[in-house]
Each structure stands twice: as C-alpha cells, then as structure tokens.
Structure 1
Amino acid sequence: MSDTRIPGWSVETLHDGYAQALQETELLYDSETDHQRLRVFTNPRFGRVLTLDGVVQTTEGDNFIYHEMLTHLPILAHGAAKRVLIVGGGDGGMARETLRHTSVEHVTMVEIDAGVVEFSKTYLPMLSQGAFDDPRLTLVIDDGAAFMKTTQEKFDVIIVDSTDPIGPGEVLFTDTFYGHAKRALTPGGILVTQNGVPFMQGDELTDTLRAFKALFADWGCYLATVPTYAGGPMAFGWGTDGGARAVPLDTLEARFAAAAIETGYYTPAVHKAAFALPGYVQDLLP
C-alpha cells in the first residue's frame, strides 16, 4: 500500500484505486470523539471543509448543492409538507434549507453525535445560519435507527442525511431501517436518502433501491453533481406511495415562486431533469 500522505494536503481514499486531495491552508479543528475523527480546515477553492475519518462531508463552497437537492426537491414535490424529519445532518445545513420553507411547521433532527453539532456551531456557522435557534427545530441526540424504530410521530418528508455505510452510518442503509422509515411517513409522504456516487458506489445504490422497490409504489433515485463528492454525480434515493414525482413543471414553478427561496442549484427544471438517469445508473436499478 502506497503512502497517501501529502504535506499540506488532506487526501481522501474512500474508493479503491482512487483518491482526491484538498489543500489545507489552515487547520481549525482536529478532535476524535467516541464515534469518529472530526477535522475542519480551510481550502483556497472551497473555504472551510469538514471531514469525518478523512472523508469529506461538507464544504463551505459547495454544500448548497447537496442540501438544496435533499430538501427543496421532496418538499416542493410534496406540496404540503408540514412536518419534516432529518436523520443525521449535524452540521445544520439540511435544517437550514428545510426551515427556509415557512410552510414547514416543525422539523425534528436526529443526530447521533452531539460533538458534531457543537463544533459545527463554532467552526461551521455558515452552514447552519442560525437554524439551531429556530423554534420550529427539535434536536434529538440519538442513534437514527433506534429513533426510527421507536418513534410514534408521523412525518410528511423524511431526509436521511447519513455518512457512507461504514461505521455509525451503516445501520441507516438496512432494509429494516427503511421499513421503519416508511411506517413513520404520512400518507403520500416522501423518503429521500443519500446514496453516494453510483459510479464508485454502485452496490450502495442497488441495495437501497432493492429495499425501496419492495416498500414503495414509486421508487427510484435522482442525481446532482457535488464537486467534492468526487467520482461523478451523486444519487439520492426516492420512495413514496404518492404521486409527487409526476407533479407538472408549472406546478413546481408556482410552488417555488410562492416559497420565495433563493437557491444556487435547485430550480424546478433541474428538479424534473434530476430524475433522468444515465445508462450506467439505470443498470444499477434492481
């Protein structure tokens, strides 16, 4: 095994035979919790960067793409989402985008590691932008799988903002977890999930969608390109028993205009186009 250390650079080796490197101009935080090693450093292109166990989780520069596509797409597709559950998302970016919808009355956020939340408030405040202080947000420090198994609450949209299926995030990619998530949805509710870069992590997408196929009348995935999630476009799992995927473009445009939200990536046209899959991704569907 070759030495992947480069002085002054953070090298990610998540995928076999492939690595990406981000220059570190300043190390702001480096601490190991009971669950994972957290680091924050600055990069000339992406600003502040958060890594967990050496893997890029989010950056100041491109986080808006990931967070917008996992929030605005299901919320606007649903059209009447009042209660939203976020599993993970300790940096606060997902809560930030969800709470921009004034029509959303309550957000429950379940994060396994209180340390992620606390240091994000200090070192990545531009991600949450005050979301943790919003009275509509309830923060629960708990294992997401345990919460989903026992909750009696119902949600219109469930967003699984998990790490990759290794370590603490592994239980969030199981058939049992998805089954519990479906039980927690209201009629016509939508479940969306982070499913990695399918060019590099095809099995991850196939396994999730095999479970979705058994659970939901409408299942599949949609795509977005996030520069620091290297290796091609990222896939997001989609599951619902309602007709939200088929909402016409003009309806999405009206809902987006009414929401009065400024976005850097999401548009109603991108929303519709994101479900158009290239052949190699279609081949991964069960």
Structure 2
Amino acid sequence: MSVRRHGGRVLALSMFVMGACGLIYEYTLGVLGNHLVGTSHEQIFVVIGLMMFSMGVGSALQRALHVDLIDRWLAIELVLGLAGGLSVIGIYAAFVYTASYRLLMYGAASLLGVLIGMEIPLLIRINQRYSSSLSANLSDVLFMDYAGSLAGAMLFAYVLLTRFTMFRIALVLGMVNVGLAAIGIAYFWPLIRRRRLLSTAAGASIVVLIAFMARADPLMATFEQRCFRDPIVASETTEYQHLVVTRRDERVHLYIDGNLQFSSVDERIYHEMLVHLPMIMARARQRVLILGGGDGLALREVLRYGDVEQVVLVDIDPRMTELASTQADLVRLNEGAFHDARVQALEAAGIGATGNTEIWREANEPFELGERSQARLARVSVLNLDADLFLRNAAGLFDVVLIDFPDPTTVETAKLYSRGFYRNVVAHLAPGATVGVQSTSPFHAREVFLCIGETLRAAGLRILRYHQNVPSFGEWGWHLAWLPGPDEKSMRERLGQIRHLPIETTYVTPELLRASVVFGRDRLATGDIRPNTKMRPVILDYHRRAWKSI
C-alpha cells in the first residue's frame, strides 16, 4: 500500500529532476556546439530546436508502448543517463579525430530529445493511478517539469557552467538520471517485471559513468591538446568564454572559444594599427577608454604616450584580465600593463545609478571614489562589466576610444557593433575625440567590414577606413571615426602631414599609416549594405556568409 500511497509524490519528484536534467542537456550540447564551431550563434539555436523537435517525435513513439509502463520508463531513464553522460566525450572525440562531429552532435541531440520526449507522456500515463482526474494529473506532472526546467536553467547558468567542464557536466547529469532510475527500481520494485535486468543495467551504467568521471580531466586535456598545434600552457572555461593559451619556444597564441585572438609573432602589427592612428589623430589624448582588450596589449600601446592621464579599460570577463595580469607569457607580451592597475568587478550600481560616480586610481595607490586629482602618472581603471552597460551608466568624456571586441559571431557580440552601441560611444566623446574600431577582414569578410563602417555613420560619426596585413589573419581592417566637423578629405590631409610619431613603435611608421587608408578599386563600394542594429543584427548574416565561403 505504501507504494501506491506515495507513488504520485515519487513520480512528481522524478518529473522535477527529469525537467532539470533535460534542459541542462540542451544547454550543454548547445554550448559545446558553440565551442567547437567557434561561437557560431547558430549552434545553440539549432541544437535546442532539434532536441525540441525530437521530443515531439518521442512523445509520438511512446504511443506504441502499452504494457509494463514502469519498466519502460526506467529503461528509458537508464539509456538517457548512459547516452547523455557519454555524449560530450563522444562528440569531442569525433571533433578531434574525424571530420563528422556535427553528425554525431546532431545525432546525440536527436537521441536525447526522443528519450526525453518519451518520458513525460509515459509518466503522465503511469501517474493516472495516483491522480483523481485528468486535469490534476496533467497539472501535477507538467508543473513539476516546468519547475525543474527553471531550476536546471539557474543551476547551469550560475553553478555548472563556470565550475565544471562540459565533460563533467554531462557525466554528472548521466549519474543523476541513472540514480533516479535506481531509486525508481527500489521504490516500484513490487510493480516491476524485469527487476534483475534493470538492476544490473543500473549498476553497470553507474560503474561506466564513474570510470569516465575519474578519467575526465586527462581525457579532456588529451583531446584539447590535439586541437592546437602548440602545447597548451593555460586553459579555462569562464562564465563568458573558453580561454586557451599555447606556447612553443617564444611563440604564444591566445584562443577564445577556439578562435585565434592573437599570435605573439605579429600581434604588434594589429595592436599598433588599432591604437596609434586614433591616438595621433585625436585633438588630445589625456583620457582614453578601451572597450574590450582584456589581454592588455592595446593598453600596453596606450601607456607609451606620456601625456595620457587616465585610462579606463572595460572588459566583461574578470578571468580574462586576471589571466593577462598573472600568466607569465601574457604578462611578458603586455609588458605588465595591468601591474599598475587594480582589477575590480563592478555592476551597474558600481558606476552609479545616476551616472555621476567616477572611479579613479593613482598608480600604486588603492582605488578610491572621488574627484579627479592632478597627477603625472596615468591612472588606470579596469572594470569588469558589460561595455554597453558601462556606456549607458558611466559619466565623463574621453579623448580617444578604442574598441577591441572579438568578431561579431554571436548575438551578444553583435550588439557591440550596433548603431545603438555606437550612439552610446558618441555620448562619451570629447570635442576633437577619435574612435578606433576593430573591424575584421576587408578581404575575407568584406560585407562585415563595410557594415561596421555604415553602422558608425548611422550613429552620427564620420569614418576613415584603413587596413594592413597581419600574417596570422591575412588582410585586416579598422575604422577611424570622429564627430562631425572635419570631413574625410581633411583627415586624410592631416594624416599626410605627419612625418614622425610621438612614441617609439615596433612596426608602424608614418609612411605605413598613410598607405593604410588606400584600398583597391571598388573595395569600399557599399552597395546595399545595411547598418547593424540590436533589433536587426544583420552583421551576423554577413559574417556567416563571409567565413563559410572560405
């Protein structure tokens, strides 16, 4: 009687756990797809959509099950636990050793979706004997499913994603599924026909998952190393991205979500081009804002100017700026740019709800909130928060703004190339200020490059496009932007009059800067290129078309 009396509660709790696990499986495979493809915004949408469709298929397939429903539910739970727990390891292995990992990833998403889709209607049918009516049955099961989904979303976003690797997340989920099946076997023992088979399968499944859990870190290290040419010296998954630093002899590379961010062989070409043209073309350069650039390499170039009084660097990921200030290879490359700055994570309230609070730091002195003081050394503030949030809440004007974000491959990064974002930048420009914008390749991603320029224009800025060959990436481009006043011809004339630079550089020369604004015939013809907006992120489509054609 005790089994029948409390069976509804056990099933409801099972539905809660299944709802949480199902959603986390969707997120895990979606994030894994992003990491493997290189933060392609499509992957998480496709994976989740495919799993949702497969759940519909599963709900239809369960109609063929007519007898031994508890046995069937427990068997499905065991298969889901084993297949889901090993899914990430299998997909990653396929990515490393074969060219067909997408097939396995989509196949795993489909299989898990079918199994999850079979669970819910099966539980509803089993729960009929414990419910007073159909409406009560449906509300009990579906409420616990939706509540579990919410719990799973919170658990994934705030606990699992930043504390466990994708390998371990999947294995933990698998163990939870198998554990749930084991509890069901014990509780519904008198109602189960295939007790020995299900018990043996549960025991074997948990042994397999524990064995892989014990080897998870070495396996991931082996798989990940095979994805990179040089030995990995640092690897970390943060709340926002996956960071990898590799080194062979003096050659250092930084990768974010599998995409190369810089190579020590030629990073000075990129960063000198990004920084020095805006710096020398600005009317003044006392106050400099760097958006992105958490590796400290743009900051290194800015700090070469003796007349810079204040630098504010805004990068959303505190682990990126911490790595750049502690990892020996990155510190050597950025010349200890962060060693005179204290990294502090601030939310919107940290920069003032009214936008009136400014944060200052004297070199080698503690942070303080207050009025600007007279000093000869540059004050450097490093803020770990969303750049868009910073611009909408912070006060103050800047003489130079340097925008050094990754390419717009996701919805999150696309907003940082939008008209609304650039309008927020305009609100922080002092008279005569200049803006330098990383703008991807004008050759490989011409539409993206032109779209960034058109978006800057739509935000009320005038622009001058420039480019240079960076061997690790090929031809690369940037935009110099400024408030209405001087036209493009005037800025070209000013650039033509520069005969020497105010600082020592490794690569850039006045002659090279003058040549960088010259493009081939029709390379800057915009045609029907649209500006990018937050509500219509056309730059994502431009980027997808560009790099898929290579």
Aligned to 1:12: none
Residues 1:154 and 1:43: Cα distance change in structure 2 (over 3 Å):
same
CA-to-partner distance for each residue in 1:7-59, whole Å, 9 max, x for gaps? 9xxxxxxxxxxxxx996232101111111110011246x71100001101012
Structure 1 match to 2:4:
none
TM-align CA RMSD: 2.5
Q: Which moved more, 1:220-229 or 1:88-97?
A: 220-229
Instruction: Provide the TM-score with structure 2 as the length reference.
Output: 0.45
Aligned residues: 265
- Superposition pairs of residues 28-39 of structure 1, within 5 angstroms: 28-39=233-244
CA contact (8 A) 2:439 2:478 kept: yes
The secondary structure found in structure 2 opposite 1:177 is helix
Whole-Å separation in 2 of the counterparts to 1:179 and 1:250: 29
Match in the other structure for 1:236: 478
Please tell me whether the aligned partners of residues 182 and 191 of structure 1 are also in contact (alpha carbons under 8 angstroms): no
8 Å Cα contact 1:165-1:173 kept in structure 2: yes
Give 3-state SS (helix, strand or coil) of 1:233's partner: strand
Cα pair distance change 1:144/1:249, threshold 3 Å: closer
Contact 2:331–2:337 (Cα < 8 Å) also in 1? no
Give the equivalent residue in structure 1 for 2:90. Answer: none
Letter of the 1:275 counterpart: V
Distance change >3 Å, CA 216–CA 270, structure 1 → 2:
farther
Structure 1 residue runs without a partner (length 5+): 8-20
CA contact (8 A) 1:43 1:49 kept: no
> In the alignment, is the contact (CA less than 8 A) between 1:223 and 1:233 conserved in 2?
yes
Provide the secondary structure at the position in 2 that maps to 1:279.
coil
Contact 1:23 1:43 in 2 (8 A): no
Instruction: Answer yes or no: is 1:113 the counterpart of 2:317.
Output: yes
The answer on 1:164 being equivalent to 2:369 is no
Q: Contact 1:85–1:155 (CA<8 Å) still a contact in 2?
A: yes
In the alignment, is the contact (CA less than 8 A) between 1:111 and 1:143 conserved in 2? yes
- The answer to whether the 8 Å contact 2:437/2:480 transfers is yes
- Residue 216 to residue 277, structure 1, CA distance change in 2 (3 Å): farther
Post-superposition offset of 1:82: 1.0
Percent identical pairs in the alignment equals 29
Residues 263-278 of structure 1 aligned to structure 2 (within 5 Å): 263-278=505-520
- 2:201 matched to which residue of 1? none
**For residues 322 and 447 of structure 2, what CA distance do their matches in structure 1 show?**
33
Residue of structure 1 equivalent to 2:187? none
Matched with 1:15 is none
Q: Which amino acid aligns with 1:146?
A: L
Between the two structures, name the one with larger relative contact order (CA 8 Å, sep ≥ 6). Answer: 1
Which is greater in Rg? 2
| Structure 2 residue matching 1:253: 3-state secondary structure | coil
Question: Which moves more between the two structures, 139-148 or 206-215?
Answer: 206-215
Gaps of 5+ in 2: 1-36, 38-93, 99-225, 341-362, 364-378, 530-550
Instruction: Report the alpha carbon displacement of residue 207 of structure 1 after superposing the two structures with TM.
Output: 2.0
Q: Which amino acid aligns with 1:182?
A: V
Note closer, same or farther for the CA distance 1:125–1:278 as it changes in structure 2 (3 Å cut): same
Greater helix percent: which structure? 2
Q: 1:4 & 1:268 partners in 2: Cα distance?
A: 45
Q: TM-score, normalised by structure 1?
A: 0.84
Return the structure number with greater strand share.
1
C-alpha displacement at 1:216, in angstroms?
4.1
Q: What is the Cα deviation at residue 66 of structure 1?
A: 1.0
Aligned to 1:84, the other structure's residue is in SS state strand
Once residues 6 and 284 of structure 1 are traced to their aligned partners in structure 2, the CA distance between those partners, rounded to angstroms, is 42
Match in the other structure for 2:434:
190
User: Which 4+ residue blocks in structure 1 deviate beyond 6 angstroms?
Assistant: none
